[in-house]
Amino acid sequence: MNDFWTVCSALAAIFTIAGGAYAFGKSNGYRQATLYLNNERESKRFVEIYAPLMGLFTTCHITTVSVRGAPYLCQRVRNSIEYLRYRKPLEALKALVDKQDLSISGEVEYGGTFPLPEITQRLKGRERFADQEIIQLVARANRAQYEDQPSDSGLTDADILLFKHICHEHEKLVKRFVGA
């Protein structure tokens, strides 16, 4: 009788080990396949969208300027003291770190105009590689072209947001795939 239970416990241990190995292999394989698919999708985003879009900005120079109400510490301290006079310590603390970013404006200094039509053309047919944010930014920039009607070299706020997004995503993807 003792041999029977020994054989049963050995078979139970073998099935447990085999089941655990199978579950671990399946989980690990699923994770590796998901990682591979994500890397492949990100690589396509880089090659099909962001690298060519960044190439459009090599022929034009975009300059942006931001306006701040209190860029220096002494100005922020002065603003903070004003709140302390009215016994508002929380607002005084906020004023101490608030640089009061008012607006950002930009223009194309040389090289033509902002390449929005080329960006829109580049995205057509490649929407499956694009992230949702760039699609929304391109739509907003297209809408701003007829609502705000900037000058030939002027940029709308939507154009600036689109330009910054393209630069940021391109830099992130270059670091990931090129290793620069």
| DSSP labels, 12-74 | HHHHHHHHHHHHHHHHHHHHHHHHHHHHHHHHHHIIIIIHHHHHHTTSSEEEEEEEES--SHH
Same domain, 115 and 56: yes
Q: What is the structure's pLDDT at 179? A: 67
Same domain, 54 and 95: no
Distance between CA atoms of residues 156 and 108, nearest Å:
11
Same domain, 12 and 101: no
Same domain, 115 and 51: yes
pLDDT digits 0-9 by tens, 128-166: 888 899 999 999 988 888 777 666 667 888 888 999 999
Same domain, 101 and 165: no
pLDDT digits 0-9 by tens, 67-80: 888 888 888 888 88
Q: Per-residue pLDDT averaged across 20-26, rounded? A: 81
Same domain, 41 and 85: no
Same domain, 91 and 165: no
Average pLDDT, the chain: 84
Structure tokens at 82: 């004003």
Choice between 5 and 169, residue whose per-residue pLDDT is larger: 169
pLDDT digits 0-9 by tens, 110-131: 777 888 889 999 998 888 888 8
Same domain, 84 and 160: no
Domain span including residue 73:
65-109
Same domain, 105 and 117: no
Same domain, 7 and 42: yes
Same domain, 43 and 121: yes
Instruction: Among 86, 109, 132, identify where a domain stops.
Output: 109
Distance between CA atoms of residues 69 and 76, nearest Å:
9
Same domain, 116 and 48: yes
Whole-prediction pTM value? 0.67
Domain count, the chain: 2
Distance between CA atoms of residues 45 and 130, nearest Å:
6
1-5, 81-85, 96-100, 165-169 — most confident range:
165-169
